[in-house]
């Protein structure tokens, strides 16, 4: 097998058209690295394997391209998929880009994913998630006060599903505070919390809730086996 000694410089002045790309004789395909790949197909390949939205900065660093070029290519790809009526979409969500199935084909996706199994959140979980989203950071006792029922079991479900996370403690009581996660934004198709629809008119007045609930209501920090009067 022929090779080139370590440290040998590339000669791009005398090798013709192929040499203009910096290729040396016998070099394997891909020897130039990711910087030599066509940008849009490279972006598609990377985005096919991400498990969370990828930021433009991250993609630019991985593909060794300017961020502006990456941002432009991503938007062009997204426009192309929409114009072609593809079943998937490339969207900017939660600060990054990721492939999603197009809303028009939600029934087909739901049929495949669920396949007879109920995987949706319960009404209790949705109500609890809504309170956290609009009142965050918020303790479980305050969420329970808004809903009027112990929410420990539901909060555990939301934590397990990665929709909420701990966000420090409440200075006055030491109670654990909770907030929504980037995964929540991703699942909701939101860029940020400022895109949440306006629901303030439908929620209890803060003074009315907090006046009755702060530390007078127990925090419900109990073990799974000790839950009582908890909805799921």
Question: Side-chain half-sphere of 75: how many Cα atoms within 13 Å?
Answer: 6
Q: Which two tokens stand for residue 59?
A: 């993609």
Residue 196 and residue 174: Cα distance in Å, rounded?
Answer: 28
pLDDT at 22: 38
pLDDT at 71: 97
Give the tens place of pLDDT for each residue, 173-216. Answer: 888 999 999 989 988 888 888 888 876 555 555 455 444 443 33
pLDDT at 199: 65
H or E stretch at 186: helix 182-188
Three-state DSSP at 220 gives: coil
Among residues 173, 162, 155, the alpha carbon closest in space to that of 214 is found at 173
Residue 151 and residue 149: Cα distance in Å, rounded?
Answer: 6
> Residue 131's CB: how many other CB atoms inside 10 A?
22
Please, what's the largest Cα pairwise distance for the chain?
83
Report how far Cα 5 is from the mean position of its chain's Cα atoms.
46
pLDDT at 228: 38
Compute the Cα dihedral for 19, 32, 44, 95 and give only its sign. Answer: negative
Q: Which residues of the chain have pLDDT under 50?
A: 1-31, 116-117, 206, 209-230, 232
Q: Quick one: residue 64, left, alpha or beta (phi over 0 = left, psi -120 to 50 = alpha)? A: left
Measured in residues, the chain has a length of: 232
């Amino acid at each position: 097998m022929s090779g080139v000694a370590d440290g040998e410089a590339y000669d791009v002045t005398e090798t013709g058209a192929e040499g203009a790309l910096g290729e040396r004789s016998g070099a394997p395909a891909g020897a130039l690295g990711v910087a030599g790949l066509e940008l849009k197909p490279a972006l598609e390949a990377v985005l096919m394997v991400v498990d969370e939205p990828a930021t433009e900065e991250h993609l630019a660093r991985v593909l060794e391209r300017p961020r502006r070029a990456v941002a432009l290519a991503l938007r062009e790809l997204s426009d192309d998929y929409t114009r072609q009526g593809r079943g998937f979409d490339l969207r900017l969500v939660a600060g990054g880009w990721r492939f999603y199935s197009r809303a028009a084909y939600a029934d087909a996706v739901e049929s495949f994913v669920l396949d007879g199994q109920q995987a949706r959140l319960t009404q209790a979980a949705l109500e609890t998630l809504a309170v956290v989203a609009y009142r965050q950071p918020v303790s479980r006792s305050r969420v329970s006060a808004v809903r009027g029922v112990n929410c420990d079991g539901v909060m555990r479900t939301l934590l397990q599903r990665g929709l909420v996370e701990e966000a420090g403690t409440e200075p006055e009581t030491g109670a654990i505070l909770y907030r929504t996660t980037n995964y929540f934004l991703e699942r909701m198709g939101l860029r940020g919390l400022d895109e949440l629809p306006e629901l303030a008119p439908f929620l209890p007045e803060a003074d009315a809730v907090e006046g009755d609930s702060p530390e007078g209501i127990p925090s419900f920090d109990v073990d799974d086996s000790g839950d009582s009067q908890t909805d799921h």
